[in-house]
Chains A and B, each alone.
Chain A
């Protein structure tokens, strides 16, 4: 008996050592590595006469960027330049995600179409865009398509609305007077929708009937802002870009200008990511067993209703996790902007600012941490959503 407990003690001690040592060595190795790197960095920076620290963020940057959402020029600080880059990254990612989702959804459904031509064409689209390196696609859109558009004097004008030339795309600017009233209308509409939804749920529990909440919401969202803008005397004017000749050089002034760098990046990101999303959508819809479709048909749902009520809600559970990954990839891929000089976070901060200040360690650290935070933030939100719609097995 004693022998056995002795043996047990021995064993557990042994196990503890086995557990402790590798962890200890890993920590030791990691700390030594960090110590080694910091020590070298200190020596190197001293030799090159570069001070370390984040003070540079508040000094004047001295460089200009060609596209910015907030006022910025060389007299602003590096901190402001960081903000400009971050906003530009978020801008292109936001629109990229929207376009890629819409395109991906349409193409994914087209791939399953009964129409052979459509499904083969969608297959071609998917295989074409997902098998080409993204940087190549960006270069193609930028250097081959957008840089070869007509010059300013010979701009293409589409529908008297969009002006296209080598400098970029010009949309008319919407100028509102008394704009807050539109916002009030939207807020009022949202509140009404919540009320209707609540009422409809209640009605459903009591009588088994429910209101067409979605259609009503659409009507409210359009109607209320219109009524409010009528009441609040909201005015709307378009400000079209105008052609102005300055020292013999033609230029469009005014309107909303989208630079070709932004457009090239947006096109490439949307098309590339949409090909992957299309595959996710297709896999999601295929994952629904045939029985579900047959059951939907047998209770008398037509094609579009069965798609809306039976297939898509179930398919979404399969589609969303890999699509989240594609959104994350899109945000990370927007850093390829550095290749064509769109002033995103990487090119403004890890490119221009780094070469201006020489503070490689601080700047790379900030850029990496920013991307990491964006990635973690998106995956947190979508994990939460994922949990919400996951099957609750009883």
Chain B
């Protein structure tokens, strides 16, 4: 009975016509030539146990490489005894985001406020060290943690600037309007890598000779300004979706420009663009590994370093597959979550 069902099902879905059957056969062929060798390489004939490259004797992947270098890939050269500080700051972040699902709408705004204004300070103190904790210079930061730190700081700091730019772009004051437009279009028109080069090489020339701004900080600022242009466009979309009645109503209550925007317009606009902001964050997360090109030791930098290590030559594939798996999982789940939100809001509108 079951087999009959299966045959019926495949007749309907896979072999409904000659053309369809050909396509199905082609797809099956593709799967057969690619999937088994990959599974064999990654699992069946892979080596998981061991401490050295010489432990890998089979033809498959040498996951020993990833195991040995795992700490370096995730935390870079951050001192081992202080790694708990990075973990703690990410834990705070995850907990406060998780909390926002369970509290009432009224308190969500406080969590947002905490994330934008207080969390960066706490995280910086924890990761950089202060108040008697051992200070870890930012050049020792690295690995996946650095990628996430820069992406998260980038999105948090770009948010206020992005909102201001979005308001500026819709302003009736010509100077502010055209300044915002030029600013947004400039940053959206250039690639991130030129911004990183500028932050790494050009920016120190623009400051007084005796001031020294740390390279990681310069790059973080560059990323935040770059990203604020994208956030501005997302927020502008939200502002445009509001009906004019909201503005009129706020004005008729005697609210000024700032009061109107802060209490009436922005809360509604930002609510509708949360999926857009999530998408911007995903894009930023995928762009952040670019910092490897200006000599930062983030995860790809660490992999390039590890594969050049004389004891581990020729291990590039395992490293890249490891990094790919992490980025893929994070990016996939974030984007499916944001899609879910998008659907939720779009049905609410209808």
Interface set of A (CB-CB < 8 Å, partner B) = 19, 22-23, 26-27, 30, 37, 40-41, 43-45, 47, 113-118, 121, 127-128, 131-136, 139-140, 143-144, 332-333, 335-336, 338-339, 346, 350, 354, 360-361, 364, 367-368, 371-372, 375-376
User: Smallest CB–CB gap between A328 and chain B, Å?
Assistant: 8
Say whether A346 contacts B206, CB under 8 Å. no
Tell me, in angstroms, the Cα distance from A139 to B320 when the chains sit together. Answer: 8
B-side binding surface: helix, strand, loop or mixed? helix
Q: Which of B27, B175, B323 is close to A23, meaning CB atoms less than 8 Å apart?
A: B175
Which chain B positions have C-beta within 8 A of A19?
172-173
Known A26-B179, A117-B28, A128-B328: A136·B202 in contact at CB below 8 Å: no
Say whether A375 contacts B332, CB under 8 Å. no
Say whether A135 contacts B23, CB under 8 Å. no
The interface bits of chain B over 197-209 (1 if a CB of A lies within 8 angstroms of the residue's CB, else 0) are: 1100110111111
B174 within 8 A of A: yes
Q: Which 9 A-B pairs have the closest CB atoms?
A: A23-B175, A332-B191, A375-B189, A131-B331, A372-B189, A116-B13, A335-B191, A37-B206, A360-B202
Tell me, in angstroms, the Cα distance from A85 to B324 when the chains sit together. Answer: 30
Say whether A139 contacts B328, CB under 8 Å. no
Say whether B206 contacts A40, CB under 8 Å. yes
Say whether A114 contacts B13, CB under 8 Å. yes
Question: Which residues 280-322 in B have Cβ within 8 Å of A in the complex?
Answer: 285-290, 292-293, 300, 307, 316-317, 320
Tell me, in angstroms, the Cα distance from A378 to B28 when the chains sit together. Answer: 40
Q: Which of A43, A118, A368 is close to B190, meaning CB atoms less than 8 Å apart?
A: A368
Say whether B292 contacts A135, CB under 8 Å. yes
Known: A338-B193, A376-B189. 17 other contacts (CB 8 A): A19-B173, A22-B173, A37-B206, A45-B205, A113-B23, A127-B332, A131-B331, A133-B287, A134-B287, A135-B300, A139-B320, A144-B316, A361-B205, A364-B194, A364-B201, A371-B189, A375-B189
Say whether A115 contacts B316, CB under 8 Å. no
- How many chain B residues touch A (CB < 8 A): the figure is 55
Say whether A361 contacts B173, CB under 8 Å. no
Which chain B positions have C-beta within 8 A of A136?
289, 300, 320, 323-324, 327
Tell me, in angstroms, the Cα distance from A247 to B204 when the chains sit together. Answer: 48
B138 within 8 A of A: no
16 A-B interface contacts by CB (under 8 A): A117-B13, A117-B14, A118-B27, A121-B30, A127-B332, A131-B286, A133-B285, A133-B287, A135-B292, A332-B190, A338-B193, A339-B292, A360-B201, A360-B202, A361-B202, A367-B194
Which chain A positions have C-beta within 8 A of B113?
none
Which chain B positions have C-beta within 8 A of A132?
286, 324, 327-328, 331
Tell me, in angstroms, the Cα distance from A140 to B317 when the chains sit together. Answer: 8
Say whether A371 contacts B194, CB under 8 Å. yes
Which chain B positions have C-beta within 8 A of A26?
175-176, 179
Tell me, in angstroms, the Cα distance from A165 to B205 when the chains sit together. Answer: 44
Say whether A371 contacts B190, CB under 8 Å. yes
Say whether A368 contacts B194, CB under 8 Å. yes
Say whether A133 contacts B327, CB under 8 Å. yes
B186 within 8 A of A: yes
Which chain A positions have C-beta within 8 A of B16?
114-115
For residue A131, which residue of chain B has the nearest CB?
Answer: B331
Question: Which residues 155-208 in B have Cβ within 8 Å of A in the complex?
Answer: 172-176, 179, 185-186, 188-194, 197-198, 201-202, 204-208
The interface bits of chain B over 203-222 (1 if a CB of A lies within 8 angstroms of the residue's CB, else 0) are: 01111110000000000000
Which chain A positions have C-beta within 8 A of B293?
135, 336, 338-339
B24 within 8 A of A: yes
The interface bits of chain B over 62-102 (1 if a CB of A lies within 8 angstroms of the residue's CB, else 0) are: 00000000000000000000000000000000000000000
Tell me, in angstroms, the Cα distance from A371 to B189 when the chains sit together. Answer: 7
Say whether B24 contacts A140, CB under 8 Å. no
Known A115-B24, A144-B320, A360-B202: A23·B176 in contact at CB below 8 Å: yes
Which chain B positions have C-beta within 8 A of A43?
208-209
Say whether B316 contacts A131, CB under 8 Å. no
Known A19-B173, A23-B175: A117·B290 in contact at CB below 8 Å: no
User: Smallest CB–CB gap between A1 and chain B, Å?
Assistant: 24
Tell me, in angstroms, the Cα distance from A225 to B286 when the chains sit together. Answer: 47
Say whether B289 contacts A350, CB under 8 Å. no
Which chain B positions have C-beta within 8 A of A144?
316-317, 320
Which chain B positions have C-beta within 8 A of A22?
173, 176
B59 within 8 A of A: no
Tell me, in angstroms, the Cα distance from A144 to B319 when the chains sit together. Answer: 11
B8 within 8 A of A: no
User: Smallest CB–CB gap between B346 and chain A, Å?
Assistant: 13
Known A26-B176, A364-B198, A376-B189: A40·B300 in contact at CB below 8 Å: no
Known A133-B286, A136-B320: A371·B191 in contact at CB below 8 Å: yes
